[in-house]
Each structure stands twice: as C-alpha cells, then as structure tokens.
Structure 1
Amino acid sequence: MSANPHLSRRGLLGMTAAVPLALALGGGTAHAADSAYAMVYFTESTKLGDGTDYGLHLAVSPDGLDWTPLNQNNPLVTPTAGALGLRDPFLMRKQDGTFVVLATDLKGTDWNYNSQYIHVWDSADLRTFTGYRRLKLHDMATHSWAPEAFWDAGRRQYAVIYSSVNSSGHNVIMVNYTTDFVTASAPQVFFDPGYDVIDGDMAVGVNGYNYLYFKKNQTLVGARSTTLNPGSFTEFSTGVAHGGTEAPTLVKSLTSGTWWLWGDTYTPNGVFCAWQSTGLASGTWTALDQRTYTQPVNSKHCGIAAITAAEYDNLLAKWGAPAWNRLKSYNHPSRYVRHSNYLGRIDAYPVEPYKDSLWTLVPGLADSSGVSFRSVNYPTRYLRHYDYALRLDANDGTSVFAADATFHRTAGLADASWSSFRSHNHPTRYIRHADYALRIDPVSTTTERQDATFRVGY
C-alpha cells in the first residue's frame, strides 16, 4: 500500500471504516482525492525584528515544493495562554477527516522557559480554528518541544511525541496517548538512544516499517521499528545536514514514489533545505536543487499535511495569495532580487530587511502590457535602469522614467517555465545579474541567458 500516490506526509497505516474512501495515516487520514499540501509554520527573521511572528501561519502548494503563503504571510491565529506565542507548529488530519494543530508553548528564544503544556487548535477546513486550549503532558521541570502526533491503530489512540529532558539528563523523545487532544495519558520515553535528540517526525506503516526522523547533534537522522512500541526504534540512516539543521519533516509525493525530507537550518539561519529519496528503507537522501523549491519568507519549523484540490482552492479564496512577489535567480537559486542602498542586486536568502526583496508587479508605467517593479517598503520607488544599471528611484512622472522602469515579461531565456524581462526602451537588452548586481544587457551566451532568467513566486 505504500506505493499509493495519495499519501500524506505520515505514510500508510491501514484502512479505517470511520473514513470512507480514505486511508488512515501515521499522522492522520489522507483522502483518496488529496492532490495538494498545506504547511503550518511560524516566522522569524535573522535579526528577530520585522518579519518575526510567533503565531500560526499557513501556506499551500500544489506539488509540495513550491509554496504560496496565505493571509499576506501574516498569522491566522495566535495563542492566548501560556507564553502567548508558539514555535514548531504541526498539522495533522485526524481519523474523522478534520484537522488538529499542535505547537510548542514558547514565544521567542527564551530556551529556559519550561512549559509542561502544548498549544492545540481544532479545524474543520483550515479556514477557521476553534477550541483553542493547552494540553498538559507532564509535571517535570522541563520543556515540551516540537509536538507531533500519529494514529496508533493498535492502541486506538493518537500518540503525541515531543522533546523533553527526563531523568537521563538529556533530551529524549517522549510520548503521551490521547483520544481527543484534551487530556492525555502519563508520559513515557518513546526514544532514548543515549544522546541528546529533539524534533521527532514520523512516517508510519511504510512497507512494514515505522520511521522516526530526528535531530542528532546538527544533523537529521532516521530510526525505524516494525512496531510503534516505545523503546523499539533503532537508528539506521545516513545523517544529512546543511550547516546546522533541525526540524525534520517527511513528505510523501502525491504523484510518485518519491519522499522528501525538509530540514530547517540555523547555520546559516532561516533556510529550509530539502532532500529526496526513492524509498525510506535505504536511509539515504540526495539534496534537491534549490531551483525546485521555495519556502514562505522567514518561515521556520514547518509541519505539512496533504489536502484536497477543493481545500486548496478554498484556502486561497479565504486567505488570498500575497499582493507581492519575490524573484529567484535561475543560476543562483539561493539568491533573490532585492534593493540595497537603492541599487538592484541578487542576494542570498534570508534577506535583511526582508521587505527589500518584496516587489509589487504593476502594469508597465510606459506600456500597460509590460510590467514595472514597485518596491513594497518604498512604494514611491521603482526598479529602473540608468546607464544600464538597475536602481531604485522615485517616480518623477516623466516619460523617460516610465520607459526606464518598464519591462516586458517573456519566457525564460534559460528555461521557458521561468521568466525573463526585456527592457521597454532598449529592446535588445534584458535584466540580468553580473557579479550579483542587476543591469540591462544584450544576452547571447548560455551564461548570460541564465543570468537573465528568474522565477516569479512568493
């Protein structure tokens, strides 16, 4: 059954009579009609300033790789108890087809704040969030970090796993069992390999195995077991990392046998990285080309679940796509178009201040069939060329400025699924980067075509 294309990120567990035409998953239930994904996350800028918000954020994707943040990348709900903020949100479709959200009770980076509780919301459709409460997990003088859940069919209960320091003196993965996410059983140690581990993420019932990925030192490592019993998992995989990496998230492709492993890096800070594998049994992963995926701006420690096409459409209708865009470089896909000291350039994500990389694409000032790039944080200024270099200038209302700030979007010169931008008043020249600075130049070589190709996204 693990080859079924309609799996959520938690993997198959078995059939359930409670949800017709559906599959019961490790993290909940995936409908046979699932064809898209939803992501929950919080936001944190590298300087903990503008762009940081410890509320619940939501994004959607048709393919699990290219994400559209909803509600202008603003939170949908924020905790009203405990630390009054969250980290590490997790999203799961329950056995009855509705959703539950779990999150760490922590605002900011006060790692000495110890909460025995986690935040919980219910949601029928991810358009409303109800029943907010905190679920108590233990009485220990320690934290309850990165809660996640999966359905344990043998116990007919949900298992809530999370990181805490127990009598061992180091972080272990704990587990409590619940039927309603209102009350829970006493805690047990779920996984203690004898060293510090946090951020457990499960894929259940994949070809006879259950998989647990977690952070070990600065890498993401997997363990597996043929049962879901606490203490039964054994480490087996090759570790992966991009700098210091945490927050593993396993995602099953809805259209192939591919698995993805998302990781959240903190050196460099704030970057999602993704790896892929043709099967979890191998325990090996290959890094994905950054051209193939994006993350919501400033997003941290995500949780991903499969949704239907109708749910995807309804979420976009309810919350809306951003009114702004980001432009990713084709041949430097870790870099985005931004302004710095009023000059146009491409810089590595994350950009500070992040709004320097946000653009409102408006009808061309000189020709409405073209496009002009208006700065989000300097809305009277536009990208325009001057002596062929791109810079951010205030619109002076002249026809010369309008022409300099107007470009015609074409199929990408290096990849037709991306975009290139031809100058309105110098039609043999295109926007391209050279030594990371933006300018308009004639384009003829393979490298120049790549320099002049961008992905317009969020």
Structure 2
Amino acid sequence: MSASATPLPSRRLFLGMATAVPLSMTGALTIGSQSAAAATGSPFVMGYFTQSPRGLGTDYGLHLAVSTDALQWMPLNQNNAVVTPTGGTGGLRDPFILPKQDGTFVVMATDLKGTNWNLQSQYIHVWDSADLRSFDNYRLLKLHSMATHTWAPEAFWDASRGQYAIIYSSVNSSGHNVIMVNYTTDFKTVTAPQVFFDPGYDIIDGSLALGVNGVNYLYFKRNNALVGARSTSLDPGSFTVFTSGLAPQGGIEGPILAQASGTWYLWGDANALFYAWQTSDLSTGTWTATDRRIYTQPLNSKHADIKPIPQTVYDNMVAKWGRPAWNRLKSYNFPDRYWRHADYIGRIDPYPFDPYTDSQWKLVPGLAESSGVSFQSVNQPTRYLRHSYYQLRLDANDGTTTFAKDATFHKTAGLADPSWSSFRSYNYPDRYIRHYDYVLRIDPISTAGGRADATFSVWY
C-alpha cells in the first residue's frame, strides 16, 4: 500500500546512493523461480499509479511502462492511464500484474482514490488481460466482510493447492494490520479469508518471491522500515521473521524485487521517489546501492509492480500505446536532478517536483540547422531553450536568425561518458551546455569536472 497506518511524509530525498549499503532484507516480486527473467532474457513491464509533490501529476488509474533491462523505464500512452476503475471509489493504488498459468494476465489493485486511509473497502479492483493491451471483465472482488481496508493485493500460484493465493494487508481480530490470504481459481470467487502472516505487530505491503533455492521470501513494511520473513512452504502461518529491518533516512515502502542478467534489483518507494539496490545472491540479505545513473523510473510513478513479459507482449504493447513524444534529461554527476525551466531559466533540480511538465522537452530539428537540435518546452511550446549572455533561458521564438542560432545545439557523445550525451552550441562551437550552481549555461569545457557537468542522459 502506498500509505500505511503511519503514512510517509509528503516529501523527502535520500542521499549517498553511490555507496555500498548493507541491507538485511529485500522486497519481493514475482511468481516462479529465481532465474525466470534472467534465463529467458525477457523484457519487463511495470504497473503503477502516479503522484507528484503538489498533485499536478497524480492519477489513480493503471499506468504501464516497459524496459529491456528492468532499469531504464519507458512510459507508455504518454504516461497517461491505460485503464481506470469504474466501480468502488473510482480510483486505484498499488496495482499488481499476475502472469497466469495459461499465459494471460490478471491485474489487481487497491480500491482507493486519494489518501483517505480510513476508508474501509472490503474490495479490490480486478481485470483480465490477454496481452496487457486490453483490460476486460472489470469487477470488484470482495475479499472479506471485516470493517477494515483491503490494501496492496498481490497473488501467486500455489501448486500444492492447485489454486491462486491473493494476499493483502488488512486488520483482523488482532487489532493491527496483518497479511491476509484468500484462495481462488478464477479471481471471481474466493475462499474465506485467513491470516497468512502475523508477526505480532502492524505490517502492510506484503510481497513474495517464490522458490529461491527452495526458500520463499515474504517482505513487508513495518512502520517505515522493510522487514523480511521466510519459509520453505507457502502455508499460512509458516513464515518467520529473519531480518531486523531497513529504515533509510525516514522511511521506504512498496518493495519490489526484479532479476535481470543474473542480478537481483530491489526497488523501494520513498513517496514516489524510487531507489534501487542490487545483489548477485538474494539469500545473503546484503545489498549495494545502485548508482542512480543506470536507472530511471517512469515519471511520477508510485507504488509499482514489475514483471518479466514475453518479447511479443513487449513489442505489441509499444505498438499499441506508443513511445513518449517528449524526453527528460538527467544530469551525469547529479543523477537525482533533471533539466527543467523555472522562471524561464534553465536549471537542474531534484526529482520529483511540480510542475513536472517543466522537465519535459521535445528535441526537434535545430532551428538554425536541421542536423542540430533545439529544445522545445512541452508546457510552453512557443518557447525554446536558448543562450543569452551564456545562460540558458526559455524564451519565445521571435523568428530571428539570432534566436535560431542561440537555440541550436549539436548533440555529441557525452564528454564524461560516451554512452551519454553532450550538446555543443551552434554559434559558439567552443562551448557546451553544462550546469553551474544548478543553472544551465554554455561554457568552454577543459576539466574533468566540467566534462561531468556537461554530460546528460536523454530518456523519458
């Protein structure tokens, strides 16, 4: 669940992600074996809803993004919802995508539009999907009759029972949140609820990784920490806590675990700011912080789920929903910061922020030379980034030759990393776009620090 009995503060930033951080727990994901994604080389899908600091990018529908490496995520449908619930509260949180035994999918989500944590819905949203391009047979599925909520549903195939298990956070007779379970064969009718896991204190956001060298791991949020339990079976009541918990700088929630190319990545949600860690061996419980340079979450994504998908599903989703018509640019040496305009000045600021549209750009053919590039604002499309007294400003195109030259740049291999990008001024070819005191400008570049300042990723 994207909130809890003690919701996260509305804004926070974590630092020091480039250092190794030992963790004694992980988040969890997926159905099936430890090596399912890595063995097949499958691409991935992420399901999420959206939230931004002032609510300008908040949307309680199902959003989808795809990735070939589970690190760099491309939003589909211009980062708009692909489906929105029509029943219950009319909104969703905490979507979960389940690949079923027959190759189709079920999508489930919390029935909650907004942040009224006192809302007591006994239902979850459910859709069937053949290929994550259509979402059919929408229904509200009642899981219990208790006077309490039904948060963060997830599901897995329990082969020993020949049924799917739906786990979720709810308050039972214990008086605190526990992980409940119902069993089903069709996601239309369910067995009576029972307690799946109760460590004796308040927990939410239960999530499973199954069959990892014969062990099943259950990870959950306790207050603002992630804690892990494990069991060699999937029977209710069989899991025991084996970690002390992780609470980095104020709290994290919504754990996800994904494996790509033999590496496990743990994602955590800190109020719509995702962090990732990695390990080569899930059983150790020790993780290293992943450099933010190598991963980019979908814009405004919140409490997500990640699943491997077949290549044909990936291709068909991209064909249907389309790639974004805009880009975002991330700083190489401050990878928590993105290009944006503020008061018509170009700068780099920490993600997330509002208006989030200040960070969206159309890279169009250069106004002075089509082999170059110009940066057109998405939310102020008559304006382009141009240099004036060497500082980048967002100005209206006045149609002059001078403006066209000032607003044109040549994209080159990144000065600090050739897999990234740098941008050389058209009319001052000895100068590159770089940040200085977080403000974008054009300068001659001659030092390692300057090359890092002048290097950016172009993604979504």
Q: Same fold (TM over 0.5)?
A: yes
CA contact (8 A) 2:344 2:393 kept: yes
Quick check: 1:278 aligned with 2:280?
yes
Task: Name 2:118's counterpart in structure 1.
Answer: 112
SS at match of 1:201: strand
Aligned counterparts of 1:99 and 1:442: Cα–Cα separation in 2: 53
Quick check: 1:75 aligned with 2:81?
yes
Aligned counterparts of 1:249 and 1:457: Cα–Cα separation in 2: 22
Task: Name 2:16's counterpart in structure 1.
Answer: none
Aligned counterparts of 1:98 and 1:33: Cα–Cα separation in 2: 18
The offset of 1:259, in angstroms, is: 1.1
Task: Name 1:195's counterpart in structure 2.
Answer: 201
Quick check: 1:172 aligned with 2:178?
yes
Structure 1's 31 and 220: CA in aligned 2 closer, same or farther, altered over 3 A? closer
Quick check: 1:92 aligned with 2:98?
yes
The offset of 1:217, in angstroms, is: 1.8
SS at match of 1:239: coil
Quick check: 1:362 aligned with 2:369?
no
Structure 2 stretches lacking a partner, 5+ long: 1-27
Give the alignment partner of residue 384 of structure 1, picking from 386, 390, 393: 386
The offset of 1:237, in angstroms, is: 3.0
Query: Deviations 1:354-410 (Å, cap 9, x if unpaired)?
Result: 000000110000010010000011000000000000010000000000000000000
SS at match of 2:270: strand
Aligned counterparts of 2:52 and 2:242: Cα–Cα separation in 1: 34
Structure 2 matches for 1:31-430, cutoff 5 A?
33=40, 35-48=42-55, 50-237=56-243, 239-242=245-248, 243-253=250-260, 255-256=261-262, 258-266=263-271, 270-430=272-432
Aligned counterparts of 2:244 and 2:278: Cα–Cα separation in 1: 13
Structure 1 runs (4+) greater than 4 angstroms displaced: 30-34
The offset of 1:282, in angstroms, is: 1.1
CA contact (8 A) 2:31 2:156 kept: no
Amino acid in the other structure paired with 1:150: F
CA contact (8 A) 1:54 1:107 kept: yes
SS at match of 1:331: coil
TM-score normalised to structure 1 length: 0.92
Aligned counterparts of 1:309 and 1:39: Cα–Cα separation in 2: 14
Query: Deviations 1:293-349 (Å, cap 9, x if unpaired)?
Result: 111111100011101222211111110011000000000000000000000000000
Aligned counterparts of 1:285 and 1:222: Cα–Cα separation in 2: 14
Aligned counterparts of 2:381 and 2:242: Cα–Cα separation in 1: 53
CA contact (8 A) 2:38 2:259 kept: no
Structure 1's 124 and 94: CA in aligned 2 closer, same or farther, altered over 3 A? same
SS at match of 1:439: strand
SS at match of 2:133: coil
RMSD over aligned Cα atoms: 1.6
Amino acid in the other structure paired with 1:174: M
Aligned counterparts of 1:90 and 1:287: Cα–Cα separation in 2: 25
Aligned counterparts of 1:364 and 1:155: Cα–Cα separation in 2: 62
Amino acid in the other structure paired with 1:275: W
CA contact (8 A) 2:337 2:350 kept: yes
Amino acid in the other structure paired with 1:10: T
Aligned residues: 432
CA contact (8 A) 1:337 1:357 kept: yes
SS at match of 1:203: strand
The offset of 1:57, in angstroms, is: 0.5
TM-score normalised to structure 2 length: 0.92
SS at match of 2:309: strand
Percent identity, aligned pairs only?
A: 69
Aligned counterparts of 1:165 and 1:88: Cα–Cα separation in 2: 18
The offset of 1:209, in angstroms, is: 0.3
CA contact (8 A) 1:11 1:206 kept: no
Aligned counterparts of 2:113 and 2:231: Cα–Cα separation in 1: 34
Aligned counterparts of 2:246 and 2:360: Cα–Cα separation in 1: 31
CA contact (8 A) 1:389 1:439 kept: yes
Structure 1 stretches lacking a partner, 5+ long: 1-7, 15-22
The offset of 1:62, in angstroms, is: 0.4
Give the number of the structure with larger relative contact order, counting CA–CA contacts within 8 Å between residues 6 or more apart. 2
Task: Name 1:4's counterpart in structure 2.
Answer: none
Aligned counterparts of 2:324 and 2:182: Cα–Cα separation in 1: 38
The offset of 1:203, in angstroms, is: 0.4
Aligned counterparts of 2:217 and 2:92: Cα–Cα separation in 1: 26
- Give the strand-richer structure, 1 or 2: 1
